[in-house]
Structure 1
Amino acid sequence: MNIGTKIIEIRKQKNMTQEDFAKIFHVTRQTVSNWENEKSYPDLQTLVQISNEFNVSLDTMLKENMNMVKKIDNYKVYKKIFIGLIACILAAGVITGIYIGICKAQHNRMYDKVENAGFKKEMTADFIEKYQGYYALTENDIDYLVEPKSIGKYELDTDKFTLTARKGDMDITISIDENRKIYLALYPGEIEIDEKGSVINTSKKLTDVQKEHMNDLLTDRKEEILPIISRALELWDSINK
């Protein structure tokens, strides 16, 4: 005798309708109908309740329907897998949330340093035209520019900001890269220099025009350039350390 037939037998012995039977175990009439037609099976907890309620041996009920036992066992396995999958999804969600939070915090700290150093970024036509959308700080007719990061907001970034000091219309342009190396623009090209305005790579081949420009800046106008280099390095340190 299978479990569906056993439930029908119990109901008839007790003169119960499917609705009456369903109320005892807090299920719907349709659920009881599905049990009796073997479209579904009661779970183990409900089987124990049926056994206790009607004094029917649970062991006998299960032994007489091995197909049901297998389905219940499979249900337990699938339930564990489902719970494990949900736990993994929740854990992934928590980790993702933490990661996004860290990225947001890092992103905000990065640009807080830039703004705390006195740089501004205004989305006005005049500002964009003059500074090309960079963060900008102007002192003594020198424009100090910080290029915004191109990374996504939800990406960690360990690279330093680069900084450019610019005077006039390409008159003097000094750049400090993410490794704190200093470059003097020669238009075209550039050359690496140190904090004292001395050329670092003397083997680099330069055109006559570049040599003339370099000598003008690093010899004739050296006293003009050194304060710009010093201030640019000071600003670079303030936004990157």
Structure 2
Amino acid sequence: MTLGEKLKKIRQDNHLSQEDFSEQFHVTRQTVSNWENGKSFPDLETLVKISNIFNVSTDELLKEDEAVVQRIDSEKKKKNTLLIVLLVLIVGINFSGFFFYQELKKQTAVSFSMEDHKTIKIAKKKETEVATGYFSIPKKGNYELKVSGESDDGEVEVKIKNTKNDKVVYESKKSEWQENQLVLLEEASYQVQVNVKDTKVSPVSLSYQVKVANK
């Protein structure tokens, strides 16, 4: 006896029309007719529901119908293959996204630092250049700026300016100070100038630190 014949017998033994049977399993009457005529067959989930409702084992339903068993097994293998492909795609997309994110971070990363502690001779003038440095900003945004300076005479001046338009984006001069703030920087190259000013003695001992990094 085929699966279709067994399903028809179960329906008739329970005094159900094809319409009644179809409503229980949320399919059309034509679908039930196709099951019984062997034109199609229920999926595994529906077979389990039929088994539970009418108290008949799935083994008993599928017994002697090798064609249906093979088709169900084939469907399971297709679903498993599809699931594996889907998982591979998800992992691949996540990996690609992570790799892209890491590359983007590298391309937009900013890590500039210049610092020193030195003693220098001062000529008789109001300002003496101590150091000059350069860094680039790949993308407009807020960047973390850490600046400090100290001198035993006069003032240490730190000035940061946009080399494209000579606009000064940061400037500070004191004998001793330390600052940590966010500054909005355009996409451009910047020059850092460190000077010592208004000294009265020579040599002068001083220290400075300038750091710019992503927020």
| Relative contact order, higher structure (CA 8 A, sep 6+) | 2
Q: Normalized per residue, which structure has more helix?
A: 1
The two structures have a TM-score, normalised by structure 1, of 0.44
The two structures have a TM-score, normalised by structure 2, of 0.49
